[in-house]
A and B are shown apart, each in its own frame.
Chain A
Amino acid sequence: MMQFSDYIFYFFSSILILASLKVITANNPVYSALSLVLAFFSAAGIWLLLHAEFLAIALVLVYVGAVMVLFLFVVMMLDINLESLKRGFWSYFPFAILIAGVFIVEIYLVVSDKFFLESQIETFGTSKSNTHSIGNILYTDYLLPFQISAVILLVAIISAIALTMSGHKSHKAIDPKDQIKVKRNDRIRIVKMKSEKR
């Protein structure tokens, strides 16, 4: 006898699988990006079923709300020629099969592991806030790894900016300090003229 939550699980997971397939099969890159958004959304739905509301909302907030927006932003502006992308498909195919095989074995090892038995997954009751417990563990037991990952991210941000800023110095950034010094006389000249006779 299936419970109602089981139906919701199968609903979300079927959407997740279909959307993920669409990501790699869609002809239009914009459709691929939008399917990935749908896949993230369905994954968030599945996490909600596990009472992991913080992770689910963070997934929507970070990946759907920010990362994929920027992805779409770029994909829409690029003129991607799909024919040239698909050209080498069969020559790469054996290598792809190899990687897929490795992935399947890895997933099998994880899922069949004793850590992943359904009875051992801790679901937090509705009485205890999921966000609260994640925050507690993140800032006590895992404080150092958390801080290190934050520093790594900061370095990544700075290096990305440094990479784009180096080389050409011809960017048209305006300095607000100079801007506010502008006087009226720098920009306009009022010419007094006598009205001429017809």
Chain B
Amino acid sequence: MEEFLKQYLDPKFAITFAYLIKIFCIVIPVMISVAYLTYFERRVIGFMQSRIGPNRVGFFGLLQPIADALKLLFKEIILPAKSNNFLFFLAPLLSIAPALAAWAVIPFGFEMVLADINAGLLYVLAMTSIAVYGVIIAGWASNSKYAFLGSLRSAAQIVSYEIAMGFTLVGVLMCANSLNLGEIVMAQQGGISQWYCWPLFPLFIIYFISAVAETNRAPFDVAEGESEIVAGFHVEYSGMAFALFFLAEYANMILVSILAVIMFLGGWMSPFSFIPDGIFWLLVKVAFVLFFFIWFRATFPRYRYDQIMRLGWKVFIPLTLIWIIFIGAMMQTDYAEYFH
């Protein structure tokens, strides 16, 4: 693409322009998937609860997300009295920015990646860890008890589960010998039996549960907790500011699902070596993982707060440490090939 643009533009501008186009090619599909993930979620949960879900706007209700987006755009943004104006508006930006920035290193196919950096896995972990600032600042700047309680809960929860999540990634990088996400996928070449979800099965489960907790989704949605603290950190937000939190939550959901697919389910690799690989497989696997998020929400009751902390600190962190030592030990034995 850069070569093509260089025919028409100054070479310096051509590179910048090519990057801009690539960024749009990532951000716009992400935004559309976010919109249709909300539709999918409402329909699926509707069917699980013997309801119909949105089916009025457009064919099968397919235009519902667009109608919702338009509604939120035209709604008034209300500032709570004695809130901190600057931080109140900064918070939604701080939650959406890392949710989108992390997409820079995600490989969608062989060398189909915006920034092919060596420390890709670390970068993603850093970006997802700073997403918590949006929640904390929103809760504090709103000058509301409910919002503040929600933000404190969320801060403690995200910090605890990040540790378990980080340890599961250590397992992956031990197997793949690389922090580059593209190389991690390439290391899982050769069909479904080579995927890391088998040798790292406990870590895969722990990663997935931590990812649900990290994105504040049910059954770990104590930060929102509709029945306890109304809507938690975003109770005072309306209109587009609220929509940004919503976008960030769903973009993060898709991000952690795509990471689960890249690290444990072979990324864009096809499950059988005689079927060609491609971005199609990545999308199918991500949709499969996302379905679990929605399934969880429709199935499980909300965790109690102390149970969340116990699960994170006393169950997941010791389990991941044991499995990391186990992998390290197995790599020194004759069975090492199963762990690469």
Contact = CB atoms under 8 A, between A and B. Distances in A.
B130 A58 contact: no
Interface in A16-65: 30, 34, 37, 53-54, 57-58, 60-61, 64-65
A61 B132 CA distance: 12
Contacts of B126: 57, 60-61, 64-65
A131 B122 contact: yes
Contact of B155 (A37, A69, A130): A69
Interface string B150-170: 001001101100100000000
Contact of A69 (B123, B132, B306): B132
A58 B122 contact: yes
**Most chain B beta carbons < 10 A, residue from A30, A53, A69, A131:** A69
Interface centre among A65, A130, A132 (most CB of B within 10 A): A65
Interface residues of B, number: 25
A57 B152 contact: no
A72 B136 contact: yes
B119 A57 contact: yes
Contact of A174 (B122, B156, B159, B306): B306
Interface string B108-144: 0000000001110011011001101100110010000
B307 to A, nearest CB: 8
B180 to A, nearest CB: 8
B152 A77 contact: yes
B156 A129 contact: no
A54 B119 contact: yes
B75 interface: no
A65 B129 CA distance: 5
Contact of B162 (A65, A76, A132): A65
Contacts of A121: none
A64 B159 CA distance: 11
B83 to A, nearest CB: 13
B247 interface: no
B164 to A, nearest CB: 13
B52 to A, nearest CB: 35
- Main secondary structure, interface of A, reads helix
A46 to B, nearest CB: 16
Nearest to A57: B122
Given A69-B155, A73-B152, A176-B310, A61 B136 contact: no
A64 B136 CA distance: 13
Interface in A131-167: 131-132
Contacts of B133: 37, 69, 72
Contact of A76 (B132, B136, B310): B136
Contacts of B132: 65, 69
Among B118, B148, B152, B162, which residue has the most Cβ atoms of chain A within 10 A? B118
A60 B130 contact: yes
A65 B158 CA distance: 10
Contact of B140 (A37, A57, A61, A76): A76
A66 interface: yes
B179 interface: yes
Given A65-B162, A70-B159, A53 B118 contact: yes
Contacts of B137: 34
Contact of A61 (B125, B158, B310): B125
A173 B310 CA distance: 10
B289 to A, nearest CB: 24
Contact of B118 (A34, A64, A65, A130): A130
A21 B182 CA distance: 41
A131 B178 CA distance: 10
Nearest to B306: A174
B209 to A, nearest CB: 17
A140 to B, nearest CB: 17
A66 B137 CA distance: 15
B122 A76 contact: no
A53 B162 CA distance: 21
B123 A57 contact: yes
Given A73-B155, A76-B148, A65 B122 contact: no
6 contacts: A30-B140, A54-B119, A58-B122, A60-B129, A61-B125, A76-B136
Cβ-closest 3 pairs across A and B: A65-B129, A129-B118, A61-B126
Given A61-B125, A131-B118, 11 more contacts: A34-B87, A54-B122, A64-B126, A65-B125, A65-B132, A69-B132, A70-B155, A70-B159, A72-B136, A73-B156, A131-B122
Interface of B: 87, 117-119, 122-123, 125-126, 129-130, 132-133, 136-137, 140, 148, 152, 155-156, 158-159, 162, 179, 306, 310
